[in-house]
Chain A
Amino acid sequence: MKLPFLRWLSPQDLSRVTGLQLYAKGVVEGLSGGMHRSHHIGASVQFKEHRPYVPGDETRNIDWKLYGKTDRLYIRQYEDETNLRCTLALDQSGSMRYSGSRSQGLTKHEFGVRLAASLAYLLINQQDAVGLATFDSTIRNYIPPRSRPNHLQALFQAMTDSVPSSETDLSIVLRGLLHNCKRRGLVILISDCFGDAEAIAKSLTLLRNNYQEVIVFQILDDDEVDFPFQSRTMFRSLELASNQILVDPIQLRKVYIENMQRYQSELERGCAQSRIDLIPVRTSQSHSTVLSNYIAKRRSGK
């Protein structure tokens, strides 16, 4: 029986992803011990600091050796390390169904699923908890984060079941995610981010302010960037079939590209303000390469 994840992850992808480690940039809250810094101070071996004793503190934490030297009571504090709670938010709106001529037959959604699968695999492998939310105009399926290896199956199944259709409203979806991600963690948004750039940026900021680290993989097709159409074309909306425009692409190209750039820069500005990583990804690229490049960049930035 073919494992469902093999549909999304090729052996090459797996081999490339296996060696990667994704660290949270900030502190996170986890249930078990892990490789990520926790905001809890625990009985770890990683010494953090001394602080003066105040009544109520447990006496076993007093650093008696230091008391002997200084004749003052200090509490010895250690840093706790915990696992990461990561929620993958996968866009399954209609616009993700687009597949251009240069994307090796992949729709943006399929590309997003592969990226999400790779991330899930990577995170589960480093004992972090991974959840999944698929959404279009609202959250369609939510799988809470777990760190068991067999949880991967459930994630992949949910990804397999995800069919892109319907309209999207990213800002509402992101607000919905606030309810699901109450503890500190990581939210990875995989979407084309089409919509009102300002509203999206605002929602991302809200998420960020809710102690979530946010990474946005913006998946675009090459066609959407350089608009290569020549002949008169009827553009039919993937989200709303009734919405269609007959245009001469040659006439529109310049303005379209200008619009695209303006939109992109608006989104980038919004993300930068909230210290959110926005990674524009083309479907013509290899998702494992994109991932490894990003993680390498992230590590060097750390």
Chain B
Amino acid sequence: MTFLNGLLAFGAAAFTIPLLIHLLHRNRVVTVDWGAMHLLQFSRNVNAKRVHWQQLLLLFLRCLLPILLALAMSRPLFQSWLSTTGPASISIAILIDDSMSMFAMDNTGQVNNNLDETNLSAGRTTRFAKACSAAIEILAGLPAGSNAAVLLSGTKPETMNGQIPDELAIQLEQLINRTVPAGELDIENSLRLALDWLGKSQHPRRQLVVVSDYQTNDWSKLSKESTFELVELIKKQNVVPEFAMVNIAPTKDEKQSNLSIDSILSVPSTIASGQECSVNTTIGNHGDQDCNDVPIAVYANDIEIDRQRISLPANTTALVRSRWAPKHLGDQLLRSQILRDDWLVADNTSSSVLVVKEPMQILLVDGDRKKEPMQSETDFLRLALSPFSILHGEKGDMAITKSVQPQELSEPLLKAARVVCLCNVAEVPEPQQRWLRDFVNEGNGLMVFLGDRVRIDQYQSWPSVANGGLRIANLTGRNSVKSTDNGPETRLNTQQIEFVPIRDMSPLSLASLAKARFESRILFSLDPAATLAPFNASVAVRFEDNQPWLLQTSLGNGRCLWVSTSCDDDDSNLPSRTAFLPLIQKLAAYAAQVEPPDRQLTSGSEWSASIPPQTTDSSKSSPGTIQVVRPDKKSDIVQMEEGHRFHFSDTRLLGPYIATVLAESDSTTGVLAPTEPMEEMHSASFALNRTLVCVKPDVMKSSAESQLQPMSSKEMDDLAKTWNARFSNSSVELLDSTRSVWYGREIWTWLWTALVICFLAEIALEQRLSPRSQATRQSREQGVL
């Protein structure tokens, strides 16, 4: 209990006045000479007790009057039993939704049609900024000594550092201008984090506030079971926190119009230098109005490469294709932007990464060379690996192939190559085995195609990988079914393939692979020693009769693949099938560890990539430092690990992340490179020192966020009821409603009421006890004497 006008509370001491009057009055005795003593003596003690109580009650009421008056005027604040002295401090967890829809701007007056990108969003506030302001207001309104946690609850939920409200408010002020959204609202994990934090907090009073724009999609994706589970979880807390929901979006029942870039994709996502790619942008109109003449710009490394104008009917999507030929190697950032203002600007831009690579060197060791075209063992492989150069004499292939005789295989040749294919080589002498082992250990790839010329006993005599050799299989013999024309043909079992490069092939290619007929093969089985770590050899693909076709293993930093059939059309019709080209390209890329890099992440997942050193200088090959520029243009420094790999986990924000190897001088002096690497992108050497990734939500979820469908009032009421939450439409409303909980409830109205009641009771009792009224009552009851 505290008083707003504390001094007036001392007025309660006035209760002594009636008490003193009573006591003084009591001491004053009047003497009366009286005749009718016999009547007095009779009645002396009969009714004294009851009347005495009435007198005491009257005295009590009279004492109570000044006390109540003083209390009422001093405006006391009544707090619950939990608070002892002063305003009770509380623990509060504030969840701020920072998903895409929170970056909508509600106070847009006139939608501007003619603008360039500079004045987009000028002078407007995002819902996120409003949410931050609301959170700051709430933090400022907390009782002294309270601690707070602020969680950004877009995927992946993140707790801001610190527990002191003032510090958090400063951090939030810095966040107000943020324009980059995080992933979709992850209410489940955010609530778990918040409850976890609240569970550890010291204060006995706890509150949970979710500041969001309450989009239908955000909450409807929670299943009934998980909602129930979370509500139960809240109820099971030792101290059940008060759950409050603050809606900072205007509650409108109509759909707000919004244009968004649903996706941007380069086809293909990885190209060799000199190739041209197609940039496909999908644009969606999520409103009920047609949008005509919408300008769409496509940028590569922030240089505009294309601009088109399209018309989008209501609730439709459109595809815009642009073509672009990158000039440099490395990761290229593609970005599409709608150059038009709307409710939600954040989804008017989308980025994607195009990887431009140098063709890799593949050394094909031909065990069966022939002069006729397409008769040599390696002809099909060459065609599959570098079709452009063979058919058109153009550049743009993934790989540059070189075919050699087995005896030509030498260390200098190996040094230039990335992958070596042993194609039906009869035998490999011991020094070549050693060279190959070293070659693979360094991080390169080896593919072994076994054919009819292979000397099984020689291969079987190779040392196993476990013993410092290359062999991972025990070869038992060759199974030929070619002699009988109608003999059984074997096909590959493509139903349950776990091997990633083949599993991820297109369905068409898989179907084609499944139809390939195999007529002969080497029978082998995995060497048990090779299945153990660190080799982890396994059967990647099997025939339908369960015999292995493809074995794979890790060896040092490299990879080995063993195929039980040859790579020409002697053993099968696979080389002439459509699946052959993608299959060989994927296997080669797998062996060379240049499988198409996944340059797309979901928000919050860890980004793990490598930037190989571009110099051959061994002194600089030690792992360096990486600067990661996030979509909000802030940068972090990450230390590289062995193998020039790095891990970056702060990928909550949607948009492109750029990792750049810092120059030695930068990393030693600690001076960061300018955070505008885009301008420097056009120097080829710089591009190779970096890698990119784009954090994107799922395409479906992205468009759901862009639809901007706020809940109706009824839905919000239902939601609040489900979660046992109090719903407010602003922080002010929330503060008003919770101030009574935080600071106490003003009870002066009750005191005034009590005062009036006491006053009336005093008058009534006084009337009842006064002699005149008693006499009149008596006379009324019993008649005049």
Contacts and interface: CB of A to CB of B under 8 A. Distances in A.
* A is bound by B: yes
A228 B771 contact: yes
B270 to A, nearest CB: 107
A76 interface: no
Contacts of B200: none
Contact of B47 (A108, A237, A254): A254
B34 interface: yes
A264 B774 CA distance: 19
Interface residues of A, number: 47
A230 B37 CA distance: 17
B37 A249 contact: no
Interface in B743-785: 769, 771-772, 774-775, 778, 782, 785
A96 B33 CA distance: 11
B28 to A, nearest CB: 6
A293 to B, nearest CB: 16
B35 A260 contact: no
B775 A226 contact: yes
A98 to B, nearest CB: 4
Contacts of A194: 35-36, 38
Contacts of A227: 771
A237 B51 contact: no
Interface string B369-404: 000000000000000000000000000000000000
Contacts of A239: 35, 37
Given A225-B785, A243-B37, A257 B31 contact: no
B26 A232 contact: yes
Residue among B34, B39, B47 with the most chain A CB within 10 A?
B34
B43 interface: yes
A44 to B, nearest CB: 45
Given A226-B775, A246-B29, A247-B40, A94 B35 contact: yes
B700 interface: no
A238 B42 CA distance: 17
A111 to B, nearest CB: 13
Given A229-B30, A231-B30, A232-B28, A251 B35 contact: no
Interface in B7-46: 25-26, 28-44, 46
Nearest to A227: B771
Interface in A213-268: 221, 224-239, 243, 245-261, 263-264
B32 A235 contact: yes
A235 B34 contact: yes
Interface residues of B, number: 33
A259 B778 contact: no
Contact of A251 (B36, B47, B772): B47
A243 B34 CA distance: 10
Contacts of B29: 231-234, 246
Given A108-B35, A239-B35, A243-B37, A249 B771 contact: yes
Interface in A253-300: 253-261, 263-264, 280
A245 B771 contact: no
Nearest to B50: A251
A243 B31 CA distance: 12
Contacts of A231: 25, 28-30
Contacts of B778: 226, 254, 257
A256 B775 CA distance: 11
Given A235-B37, A238-B33, A256-B40, A264 B47 contact: no
B43 A255 contact: yes
A249 B55 CA distance: 12
Interface string B46-71: 11100110010000000000000000
Interface string A13-53: 00000000000000000000000000000000000000000
A97 B37 CA distance: 13
A128 interface: no
A63 B36 CA distance: 62
A96 B35 contact: yes
A252 to B, nearest CB: 6
A195 interface: yes
A92 interface: no
**Which of the listed residues B38, B48, B772, B785 has the most CB atoms from chain A within 10 Å of its own CB?**
B785
A234 B44 CA distance: 13
Contact of B35 (A192, A228, A233, A254): A192
Nearest to A250: B769
5 contacts: A228-B775, A236-B32, A251-B48, A255-B43, A260-B39
Interface of B: 25-26, 28-44, 46-48, 51-52, 55, 769, 771-772, 774-775, 778, 782, 785
Interface of A: 94-98, 108, 192, 194-195, 221, 224-239, 243, 245-261, 263-264, 280
Nearest 7 interchain pairs by C-beta: A95-B35, A255-B43, A251-B51, A235-B34, A234-B31, A98-B35, A226-B775
Given A194-B36, A234-B32, A251-B51, 12 more contacts: A195-B38, A225-B785, A231-B30, A232-B25, A235-B32, A238-B33, A245-B44, A247-B40, A251-B47, A251-B55, A254-B778, A258-B43
